[in-house]
């Protein structure tokens, strides 16, 4: 049994689905179901008894303590967070509350549980903290990619809150001996990605005939990784990572935002071409690209050096940017109802739709 936090979000739900597809080990999924949590992501395992969904907050020490005591997980994989940089600029408070205070409270509950375990269970227990490359700040164009020893230099309230949580996790290992692992990953993309983030926003806006907003000059660089590869990396680190260590995760796929948006338009032109216009011509989705005001404090470049993970644990991404993007575009084309439910807010009617009668702890929102 493992406990996953934030398992109804983008990466967490992909992780839970992958986990149950590859192992018989059950998962307790603790998620508050904020705007970013979506049980539609987990509809294919709604009747799978190996998945125990609990609606709750990582900061609810009594709830977390009772889940740990009842289910006695051998590991906690911590995804739950406020994750969107633009939201952190508009309203940082929730980021401090969940990412910093929430992680602290979770660590306290886990420490108490871990202390109660017999020696053999205690030494095999793991707390895996899922974090981001944004803690390292912004790279100059010719600088080498971030390694695990790059100094922290977070620039947004989001990345500062994640940096704080990384430091707390590190301190719980050094001070209390809690067996922790931390992963710092680059930008993910793939199925179930909430359409506030660049790639799903472009795909959904393009098909709705809306503007495709590119911040500033569009020359900012991100290092893209298919979400399934991130999930595989987390499984490897959880299985064989060295306690107390940090592992960077990335796909060696540095792209400017403008190139990403253009690639998405090209893929859509191929897989879902527009109807001919009044002029009789088939227009490209790229005509919808619109340059808009830049994000305040926008980091210019991120890039990850993932060689430690490859060297020590043999992990390598299975997808290239091209194969991952094609899978992603095909997924969004095939899952229009998921997109519609997110856009209409209907995905938040979670209890009635998927989970009626599944877990006594869940409450109506
Ligand atoms: P997401 O926003 O899609 O999902 C977050 C999930 O956490 C949601 O289901 C939400 O309901 C839940 N949640 C939020 N606050 C909670 C709380 N207080 N208690 C319990 N549950 C709560 O995020 P994501 O993109 O899936 O990211 C997951 C983790 O991975 C985050 O920690 C993020 O920092 C990290 N990360 C994300 C990326 C990326 O590209 N998306 C890259 C690297 C690291
Ligand atoms: O690097 C890892 C991080 O990647 C994660 O830790 C975060 O949780 C995740 O949200 C993501 O952060 P970004 O800010 O890089 O992702 P986002 O999709 O918001 O933006 C990607 C890039 O595209 C960024 O440079 C801003 C730009 N952008 C974004 C949006 C939403 C645009 O140009 N237009 C847009 O409309």
In this prediction the pTM is 0.97
Q: Which residues are near ligand 2 (CB < 6 Å)? A: 83-85, 132-134, 186-187, 197-198, 201, 213-215, 220, 222, 257, 295, 302
Q: Is 31 in the pocket of ligand 1 (CB under 6 A)?
A: yes
Query: Which of 3, 6, 15, 38 best tests ligand 1's pocket when mutated (most atoms within 8 Å of CB)?
Result: 6
Query: Which of 6, 187, 296 best tests ligand 2's pocket when mutated (most atoms within 8 Å of CB)?
Result: 187
pLDDT of residue 365: 35
- Residues 360 and 350: their CA atoms lie apart, in Å, by 15
Query: Which of 215, 219, 224, 230 best tests ligand 2's pocket when mutated (most atoms within 8 Å of CB)?
Result: 215
From the CA of 131, give the closest atom in ligand 2.
Answer: 6
Cβ–Cβ < 8 Å for 76, 3: yes
pLDDT of residue 363: 43
Task: Give 361 Cα–ligand 2 centroid separation in angstroms.
Answer: 34
pLDDT of residue 347: 86
Compute CA 316 distance to the chain's CA centroid, rounded to the nearest angstrom.
18
Of 29, 3, 237, 239, residue with least CA distance to 124:
239
Q: Is 22 left (phi over 0), alpha (psi -120 to 50) or beta?
A: alpha
pLDDT of residue 358: 55
| 3-state SS assignment for residue 360 | coil
Q: Is 152 a catalytic residue?
A: no
pLDDT of residue 359: 56
Neighbour-count burial for 280-297, b at 16+ CB within 10 Å, e otherwise = eeeebbeebbeeeeeeee
pLDDT of residue 182: 99
pLDDT of residue 345: 87
Q: Is 293 a catalytic residue?
A: no
Cβ–Cβ < 8 Å for 80, 58: yes
- Residue 268 burial by Cβ neighbours in a 10 Å radius (0-12, 13-18, 19+): buried
Task: Give 123 Cα–ligand 2 centroid separation in angstroms.
Answer: 38
Q: In CATH, which of 3.40.50.720, 3.20.20.70, 3.40.50.12780, 1.10.443.10 is domain 2-187+226-251+297-319+346-355?
A: 3.40.50.720
Torsion of CA 330, 336, 342, 347, to 10 degrees: -110
The domain spans of the chain are: 2-187+226-251+297-319+346-355
| 3-state SS assignment for residue 77 | strand
Which portions of the chain are predicted below pLDDT 50?
357, 360, 363-365
Cβ–Cβ < 8 Å for 195, 339: yes
pLDDT of residue 356: 55
- Residue 128 tokens, joined: 């895996």
């Amino acid at each position: 049994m493992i406990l996953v936090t934030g398992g109804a979000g983008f990466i967490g739900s992909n992780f839970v689905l992958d986990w149950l597809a590859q192992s018989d080990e059950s998962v307790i999924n603790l998620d508050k179901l904020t705007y970013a949590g979506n049980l539609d992501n987990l509809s294919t395992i709604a009747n799978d008894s190996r998945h125990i969904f609990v609606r709750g907050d990582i900061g609810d020490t009594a709830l977390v303590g009772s889940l740990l005591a009842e289910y006695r997980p051998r590991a906690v994989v911590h995804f739950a967070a406020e994750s969107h940089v633009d939201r952190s600029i508009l309203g940082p408070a929730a980021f401090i509350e969940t990412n910093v205070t929430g992680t602290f409270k979770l660590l306290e509950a886990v420490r108490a549980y871990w202390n109660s375990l017999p020696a053999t269970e205690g030494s095999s227990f793991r707390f895996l903290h899922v974090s981001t490359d944004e803690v390292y700040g912004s790279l100059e164009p010719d600088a080498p990619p971030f390694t695990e020893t790059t100094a922290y230099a977070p620039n947004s309230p989001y990345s500062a809150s994640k940096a704080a949580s990384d430091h707390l996790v590190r301190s719980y290992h050094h001070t209390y001996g809690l067996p922790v692992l931390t992963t710092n990953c680059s930008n993910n993309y793939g199925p179930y990605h909430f359409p506030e983030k660049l790639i799903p926003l472009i795909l959904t806006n393009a098909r709705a005939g809306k503007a495709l907003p590119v911040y500033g000059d569009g020359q900012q660089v991100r290092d893209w990784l298919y979400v399934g590869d991130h999930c595989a990396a987390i499984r490897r680190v959880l299985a064989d990572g060295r306690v107390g260590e940090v592992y960077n995760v990335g796909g060696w796929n540095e792209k400017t935002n403008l190139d990403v948006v253009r690639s998405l338009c090209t893929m859509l032109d191929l897989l879902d071409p527009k109807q001919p216009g009044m002029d009789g011509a088939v227009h490209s989705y790229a005509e919808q690209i619109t340059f808009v005001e830049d994000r305040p404090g926008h980091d210019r470049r991120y890039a990850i050096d993932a060689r430690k993970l490859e060297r020590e644990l043999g992990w390598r991404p299975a997808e290239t940017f091209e194969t991952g993007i094609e899978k992603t575009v095909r997924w969004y084309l095939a899952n229009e109802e998921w997109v519609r439910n997110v856009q209409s807010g209907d995905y938040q009617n979670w209890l009635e739709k998927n989970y009626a009668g599944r877990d006594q702890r869940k409450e109506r929102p």
